[in-house]
Every structure is written in C-alpha cells, then in structure tokens.
Amino acid sequence: MGVPQFKEIRRAYGFDEVAIAPGSVTINPEMTNTDFSVDGITLSTPILGSAMDAVASPKFASTMDGLGGMAVMNLEGVQTRYNNPDDMLDEIVEASEESVTGILQKVYSAPIREELVGERVQEI
C-alpha cells in the first residue's frame, strides 16, 4: 500500500483581508471587459442568481438575463408546485418561528406539476 498523494493547499483571501486602494493608473470603464463564460455561455455581467425559491422566479430570471447575468431557477421548488407560488412564499415569510417548519413541510410536500415546469420556462 502506497502513501496517498495530497494536493498542495494554497492561501486564499476573504473580503476582510483585501483592501483596494487607488493607484496611479486609471482604466476607463469602457476599456474594461467583465464577460464571464460557463460552458460556452457568455454573460456580460459575471453574476449567477441562486437557485433558491426566495430568490429566483421567472420574472427575476428574465430580468437577470436582460442585465447580462443568469438566474438558476429551482424546478423542484414552489415555482413548479403552485399556480401562484408568491402566495406560498408569503405564507412562509409571514410564519412565526414556531410554525415555520410545519408550513415548509406542507408547502414542499405538494407534488411537482409537470405542466408548471414548461409554463415557468415559457414565462422566462
């Protein structure tokens, strides 16, 4: 049995450890390029919207696309379980701390409706 090979760990920095200070060189915004590519898809805004029900809806995904970003919608979430998912999200948000677990279980126990998957994609 041989000795396992390990990868070298490199130091990483967080936001609290990095400071941006003005320098002597100025770059005009029109000279910059923030394009970001993922598997052949190029985004002009290097932002991916999270696939969380509280974040990504068809309207949000469409807006992100118009701004050059990309939203990922959870097709196993409330968007594909209910005709009006906003009502369910409101119910979750307005729930007390004591009752929210039961409400989440109820909301996510509804079956995924195949017709709503296509409908949400069409809305985008």
User: For residue range 41-68, what is the model confidence (pLDDT) as tens digits?
Assistant: 888 776 778 888 888 899 999 998 888 8
Tally of domains in the chain:
1
Is 105 within a domain? yes
Is 12 within a domain? no
- Give the pLDDT of residue 67: 85
| H or E stretch covering 117 | helix 114-123
DSSP secondary structure code for residue 112 in this structure: P
Share of the chain above pLDDT 70, in %: 96
- Give the pLDDT of residue 1: 66
Is 20 within a domain? no
Is 27 within a domain? no
Is 5 within a domain? no
Domain residues for the domain of 69 are 33-123
Q: Which two tokens stand for residue 7?
A: 């990868």
CB 48 within 8 A of CB 70: yes
Pairwise CA distance, residues 44 & 37, whole Å: 9
Is 78 within a domain? yes
Is 3 within a domain? no
